[in-house]
Homo-oligomer: A and B are copies of this chain.
Amino acid sequence: MTTAQVSTEPVAKHISEATLRRLPAYHHYLKGLAHRGREVVSCSRIGLELRLDPTQVRKDLAATGIVGRPKVGYPVADLIESIESFLGWKNVTDAFIVGAGNLAAALLHRQSFGQYGLDIVAAFDKDPEKIGKPIHGKNILPIEKLPSLAARMHIHIGIITTPADAAQEAADLLVYSGIRAIWNFAPAPLTVPEGIIVQNEDLFASFVVLSNKLKTALGAVPA
């Protein structure tokens, strides 16, 4: 049988990382609109407010599967729904965080902002000082308990917020515990087996971009 079959669940077409990164911004903006009672919105408007090309907005939104109406735009509620379901924010993903420092506290805190599909269900640290002192309602557990808990709770995502010199150790433990993806905030490249997804969050990389833009801007208008 050489004829291709049309599956009911269409082959997930590739979504560019750039588009993925813009979707949360649209979502946030749309939530604001909905809160102010706005019912429909056009790509032109979104683009104007978020400083993006309207066509790009349209393509990004189309990627989530929504269809709009000419001259009108999209119903705000439908758009929010479309983005949320496309990004899988309905079935929340559980995650563990390793390294109970300030950054972990910030993440545990911000999470309460809304349902973005991420639930950090437990935090771990190897410092006995930190064990048992809850941060934003989450208890800090000793790192030794991570593997058994990860297995029992079927955790797929690990977040590393340890200092750089403890990051590889944390990654090894997460991988050993059956984690499939690591969100790494430590400024250290991780070595992981084939098939494990690593998303590095390099804050200094962002600063470099900012500082470069500033240098260019200041250089263009000299004293």
Contacts and interface: CB of A to CB of B under 8 A. Distances in A.
A217 B180 contact: yes
A197 B181 contact: no
A3 interface: no
A203 interface: yes
Secondary structure dominating the interface of A: helix
A65 to B, nearest CB: 15
A180 to B, nearest CB: 6
A189 B50 contact: yes
Contact of A205 (B20, B205, B208): B20
A192 B187 CA distance: 31
A127 to B, nearest CB: 15
Q: Count copies of this chain in the complex.
A: 2
Contact of A180 (B109, B164, B214): B214
Contacts of A20: 205, 208-209, 212
A183 B207 contact: yes
Interface of A: 12, 15, 17, 20-25, 28-29, 49-50, 87-88, 93, 101-103, 105-107, 109-110, 113, 116-118, 156-157, 164, 180-181, 183, 187-189, 195, 197, 199-219
